[in-house]
């Protein structure tokens, strides 16, 4: 079975928990274990927080998730300039730094993490994947 979620959300702090809970409910329905769901929720929360805090343009952002029983693929898409996200990807973060730890967490808890500028539009796409085998 394949489950696909597409959400357009306001850029505010209340939207991130809604996305996490919606995706978690879908994963739970597919029988995904709690540790894998927690990893995905953490990465999704970090990606959403980055968009909410840093996207320079647009009042909304999108989250797309596809789960096929073996893998979860998530994209968080903002309408900002894309510059901060691109810089964020290459940033070397000091262990005790105030900002920038989100990317380190996303790399640690997911697979196939990519951050890229959107083609023909402003903004960036945070793409990550996670195996659903626990």
Spatial CB neighbours of 38, under 8 Å, sequence gap ≥ 6: none
Q: Kindly report the three-state secondary structure assignment for every residue of the chain.
A: CCEEEEEEEECCCCHHHHHHHHHHHHHHHCCCCHHHHHHHHHHHHHHHHHHHHHCCCCCEEEEEEEECCCEEEEEEECCCCCHHHHHHHHCCCCCCCCCCHHHHHHHHHCEEEEEEECCCCCCEEEEEEEECCC
66-76, pLDDT tens digit by residue?
999 899 999 99
18-46, pLDDT tens digit by residue?
999 999 999 999 999 999 999 999 999 99
User: Any idea where the domains of the chain sit in the sequence?
Assistant: 3-131
- The domain made up of 3-131 has a fold known as Heat Shock Protein 90 (3.30.565)
Q: In which band, very low, low, confident or very high, does the pLDDT at 122 lie, cut at 50, 70 and 90?
A: confident
């Amino acid at each position: 079975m394949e489950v696909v979620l597409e959400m357009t959300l306001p850029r505010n702090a209340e939207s991130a928990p809604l996305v996490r809970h919606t995706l978690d409910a879908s994963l739970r329905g597919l029988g995904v274990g709690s540790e894998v769901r927690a990893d995905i929720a953490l990465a999704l929360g970090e990606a959403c927080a980055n968009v909410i805090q840093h996207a320079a343009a647009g009042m909304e952002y999108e989250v797309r998730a596809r789960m096929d029983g073996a893998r979860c693929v998530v994209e968080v898409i903002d309408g900002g300039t894309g510059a901060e996200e691109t810089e964020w990807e290459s940033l070397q973060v000091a262990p005790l730094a105030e900002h920038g730890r989100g990317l380190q967490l996303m790399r640690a808890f997911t697979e196939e993490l990519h951050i890229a500028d959107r083609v023909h539009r402003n903004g960036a796409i945070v793409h990550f994947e996670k195996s659903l085998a626990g």
